């Protein structure tokens, strides 16, 4: 294993044994990033000098016997909607092209306290709106295995960076599947935590009641290590919830574990490639000792519709601040209203403007009750349906995405087709549940992902199930 192909675990072991230093590791990753990124476009900003300085500080701590923990000196990447003080943060949008963050996001503060090295900021769909990273104002990210295909989105840059060995791990954000779906398409692990387990302070908001920061890793244990570091109550985010400690056991078998297969997730819309690999994955879970049964998940089919009403409404409110006045792009005009209009027209992309308009319409007088209020009611029914299912099973198993990575340009001009990419993931966000995507094999050279969904705040069990499957798959 070369220095830039490390996992978090192997990197920590190598540094502890003196096989290589954090500076050696970081430089190897930077060389790989600078060599491949011009074509891959996974990174929007590369921290060449800053990363080496952080690695030097980590090595100094290690020499003095003051290592901060397993993540100390480990190089990772950060999605470009998470603030790092003094660094550019674009959220994939022209309107924030020159914006420099004035403070750290809480997750960044916690990673800095753990001694992490930041390699750079990764590409994303503009303001996290998309499922392919084609909506980035700075160009599409290529799939690491096939440059003519997309890596998924909106955290496609982070997923591609991990899959291409351009970092040990990465952070992304997940509003309707934006960690899990690109993780599935790129063949890495991606975890979306229970809503409230990770602070959103310092994260550029898309839909505040749905957004969550989460990790990408090459292994389930790597994702767990990163999640454990960033999770927890934050006084700057009133939606973070006090919870029990996070203690996965990482079992080898799943005896006594009851898994449900929602029949709504196994109907039409799933490609034959995904269906084949998922059938094999289910048999693998049975071999590990899990009890598996088909379950009914009422209102699962309504989750996508609910999501695409609630999310644009929150987008409409959250993006009102990007008006060319306080920060970001300003296109001057004769009147204040014209300045607003020009700044947003030139600074915001088509998909962002579409969702703002949809949300504004749904919140307008005469339509609020018909759309937004009704969606909130159905959201409550969806949450109750999940609660009832979890009275009988420990977790749910579904595909992560309905197909393998699709071609660049195939769906970007068909919004409805693009929105259907989230069919298996949005229900988790609507209900505020934890879920993980773990690779379950390839089909014709392209990865397929299996999704494990748990009950609220049962994040550790989700990791345990994914880890047991992963280890069986590897061996």
| Domain limits, the chain | 3-230
Tens digit of pLDDT for each residue in 277-302? 999 999 999 999 999 999 999 998 89
Q: Tell me what the mean pLDDT of segment 219-235 comes to.
A: 97
Q: Tell me what the mean pLDDT of segment 255-276 comes to.
A: 92
Tens digit of pLDDT for each residue in 44-84? 999 999 999 999 999 999 999 999 999 999 999 999 999 99
Question: Is 3-230 CATH 3.90.1300.10?
Answer: yes
pLDDT score, position 458: 96
H helix or E strand, kind and range, residue 351: helix 350-363
Q: Is 178 a catalytic residue?
A: yes
From the candidates 58, 154, 199, 403, give the one annotated as an active-site residue.
Answer: 154
Q: What burial class does residue 49 get, using C-beta atoms within 10 Å of its C-beta: 0-12 exposed, 13-18 middle, 19+ buried?
A: exposed
Strands 446-454 and 435-443: antiparallel
Burial 268-298 (b: 16+ CB within 10 A, else e): eebbebbeebbeebbebbeebebebeebebe
Q: Is 158 a catalytic residue?
A: no
Q: Which of 239-248, 253-262, 356-365 has the lowest mean pLDDT?
A: 239-248
Q: Tell me what the mean pLDDT of segment 307-317 comes to.
A: 96
Q: Is 154 a catalytic residue?
A: yes
Tens digit of pLDDT for each residue in 99-126? 999 999 999 999 999 999 999 999 999 9
Tens digit of pLDDT for each residue in 181-214? 999 999 999 999 999 999 999 999 999 999 999 9
From the candidates 22, 93, 132, 178, give the one annotated as an active-site residue.
Answer: 178
What count of other Cβ atoms lies within 10 Å of the Cβ of residue 325? 12
């Amino acid at each position: 294993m070369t220095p830039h192909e490390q996992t978090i675990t192997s990197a920590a072991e190598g540094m502890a044994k003196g096989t290589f230093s954090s500076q050696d590791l970081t430089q190897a990753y930077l060389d790989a990033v600078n060599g491949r990124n011009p074509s891959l476009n996974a990174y929007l900003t590369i921290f060449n000098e800053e990363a080496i300085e952080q690695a030097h500080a980590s090595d100094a701590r290690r020499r003095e016997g003051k290592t901060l923990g397993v993540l100390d000196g480990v190089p990772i990447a950060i999605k470009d909607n998470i603030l790092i003080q003094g660094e550019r943060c674009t959220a994939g949008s022209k309107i924030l092209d020159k914006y420099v963050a004035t403070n750290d996001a809480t997750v960044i503060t916690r990673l800095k306290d753990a001694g992490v090295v930041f390699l750079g900021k990764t590409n994303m769909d503009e303001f996290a709106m998309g499922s392919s990273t084609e909506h980035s104002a700075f160009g599409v990210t290529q799939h690491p295995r096939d440059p003519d295909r997309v890596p998924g989105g909106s955290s496609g840059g982070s997923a591609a960076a991990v899959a291409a060995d351009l970092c040990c791990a990465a952070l992304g954000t997940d509003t309707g599947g934006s960690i899990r779906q690109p993780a599935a398409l790129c063949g890495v692990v991606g975890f979306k935590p229970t809503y409230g387990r990770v602070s959103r302070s310092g994260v550029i908001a898309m839909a505040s009641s749905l957004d969550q920061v989460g990790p990408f890793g090459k292994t389930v244990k790597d994702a767990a290590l990163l999640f454990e570091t960033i999770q927890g109550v934050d006084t700057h985010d009133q939606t973070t919830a006090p919870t029990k400690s996070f203690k996965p056991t990482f079992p080898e078998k799943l005896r006594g574990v009851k898994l449900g297969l929602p029949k709504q997730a196994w109907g039409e819309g799933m490609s034959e490639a995904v269906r084949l690999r998922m059938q094999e994955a289910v048999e693998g879970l049975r071999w590990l000792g899990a009890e598996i049964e088909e379950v009914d998940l009422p209102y699962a089919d309504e989750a996508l519709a609910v999501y695409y009403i609630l999310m644009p409404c929150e987008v409409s409110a959250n993006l009102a601040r990007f008006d060319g006045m306080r920060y970001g792009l300003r296109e001057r005009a004769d009147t204040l209203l014209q300045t607003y209009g020009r700044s947003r027209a030139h600074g915001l992309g088509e998909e962002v403007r579409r969702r703002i308009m949809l949300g504004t319409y749904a919140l307008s007088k005469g339509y609020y009750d018909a759309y937004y209020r009704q969606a909130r009611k159905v959201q409550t029914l969806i949450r109750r349906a999940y609660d009832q299912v979890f009275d009988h099973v420990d977790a749910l198993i579904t595909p992560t995405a309905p197909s393998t990575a699709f071609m660049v340009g195939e769906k970007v001009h068909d919004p409805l087709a693009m929105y259907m990419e989230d069919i298996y993931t949005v229900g988790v966000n609507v209900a505020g549940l934890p879920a993980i995507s773990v690779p379950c094999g390839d089909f014709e050279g392209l990865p397929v992902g299996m999704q494990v969904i748990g009950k609220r705040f049962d994040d550790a069990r989700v990791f345990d199930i994914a880890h047991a499957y992963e280890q069986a798959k590897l061996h």
